[in-house]
Amino acid sequence: MKTLIWDRLAPHLGNASRVFIVPDGALSLVPFVALPVGQRSYLLDRGPVLHYLSAERDLVSMGVEATDVGQGLLALGGPSFDDPTLFGSGRSRPRSVAVLPVHPDSIVRSAGSACQRVQDIPFPPLTGTLQEVRELSRMWSTSAITNDEGSRVLIGRDASESTFKKEAHGYRVLHLATHGFFLGDACSPALPGTRAVGGITTASGSRPSAKPAENPLLLSGLALAGANRRQTAGPNEEDGILTAEEVASLDLGGVEWAVLSACDTGVGQIKAGEGVFGLRRAFQVAGARSVIMSLWSVDDQAARAWMRALYEGRFQKNLTTADAVRAATVTVLRDRRAHSQSTQPFYWAGFIAAGDWR
């Protein structure tokens, strides 16, 4: 892939220290920094700083200062997926959660899907996400860059869909650490220790969908508090599943960063010339200037380490978004090398940023 893609571009880059990529089709799901260079190195080790854009015009809009910049950090993590008290009809029911049967041909929110419907997927707890948001909140409060801005942490029962929707507007940074999903045209099992769940796929959508009329923004989402009790939600209650369609309807105009610390948050249905339809598109439509997202199932603890390095670079060292993302990736890869751990891109190259590079 490096020969077909990067090696053809490199002679034209000269001494450029920063390269903006506007990918199309399947290239939208390629972490260019993970392209191999020789036997032991990657483009991350030797190449320039890379940053993704949705379109070239994004560089023009970035020259205009935002008039409504949010303040503070809203960090959501460690949701209580099994909390029965969020929905009126389920408050008297026992806490045990049954693993529901898989229905490959059933629907996602009244739209057909080739995978099991999201209503039938159980979400296991993620200890790393709880530790992650608490750690980032402490870093935020001690940073000289953000010490005049507050932070709010939503954990357990408070990490709910209704609370997030009410409070997301007005913050500078939104950080969501939980399970993410993309219901593609082929199903695959979840990897142990990741922020994915069974029956969810990272398929690119390049193959024809079983039911192409399906709304692509209903195929991607995040699991929040009460997600395992969603079938008890009343018609006027949030169900704990935040879909990309719901995100797109929010007002996130003041958000500088939307950090989606979950699996598959950067994937979705690919449409030639139009990009990826999923959570990344939804947060951009809602107004977020930069979206930091994953291209595959991310390891729970590796994701936590990468996020810690990301926030250190941005809010302690005052790096740009593009430089902070690169620094975080370098930090994790260097640490794995120092400890003789696997340097497979799975552990360090899953996160990218798209949007404003500053």
Note the pLDDT tens digit of each residue in 259-301: 999 999 999 988 777 778 999 999 999 999 999 999 999 989 8
Paired tokens of 70:
């949010």
Going by C-alpha positions, the residue among 291, 261, 275, 292 that lies closest to residue 204 is: 275
Residue 264 lies in a domain: yes
Q: Map residue 338 onto helix, strand or coil.
A: helix
Q: Work out the burial of residue 100: count CB atoms within 10 Å of its CB; fewer than 13 is exposed, 13-18 middle, 19 or more buried.
A: middle
Q: Quick one: pLDDT at residue 208?
A: 38
Residue 311 lies in a domain: yes
Half-sphere exposure of 130 (CA within 13 A, CB side): 12
Stronger pLDDT, 66 or 127, i.e. the higher one: 127
Which of these ranges, 126-130, 154-158, 205-209, has the smallest mean pLDDT?
205-209
Query: What CA–CA distance (Å, rounded) separates 308 from 328?
Result: 8
Q: Quick one: pLDDT at residue 98?
A: 36
Q: Quick one: pLDDT at residue 54?
A: 84
Q: Quick one: pLDDT at residue 103?
A: 33
What tens digit of pLDDT does each residue of 160-192 get? 999 999 999 999 999 999 999 998 754 455 566
Residue 314 lies in a domain: yes
Residue 57 lies in a domain: yes
In the chain, the number of structural domains is 1
Q: With beta carbons less than 8 A apart as the criterion, state whether 184 and 205 touch.
A: yes
- Under 8 Å CB-to-CB from 205, ≥6 apart: which residues? 184, 185, 216, 267, 268, 269, 270
Q: Cα separations (Å) of 256 from 163, 185, 252? A: 20, 32, 9
pTM of model > 0.75: yes
What tens digit of pLDDT does each residue of 328-357 get? 999 999 999 999 999 999 999 999 999 999
Beginning with the edge strand found earlier in the chain, give each strand of the sheet holding 151-156 in spatial order. Answer: 18-21, 49-52, 351-355, 290-294, 257-261, 173-177, 73-79, 151-156
For 301-309, what is the mean pLDDT? 95
Residue 1 lies in a domain: no
What tens digit of pLDDT does each residue of 198-228 get? 444 333 333 334 444 468 899 999 999 999 9
Paired tokens of 257:
């960063």
CATH of residue 165: 3.40.50.1460
Amino acid at 101: P
Q: With beta carbons less than 8 A apart as the criterion, state whether 205 and 269 touch.
A: yes
By residue count, the chain amounts to 358
Determine the structural domain holding residue 92 and report its residue range. Answer: 6-355
What proportion of the chain, given as a percentage, has pLDDT over 70? 81
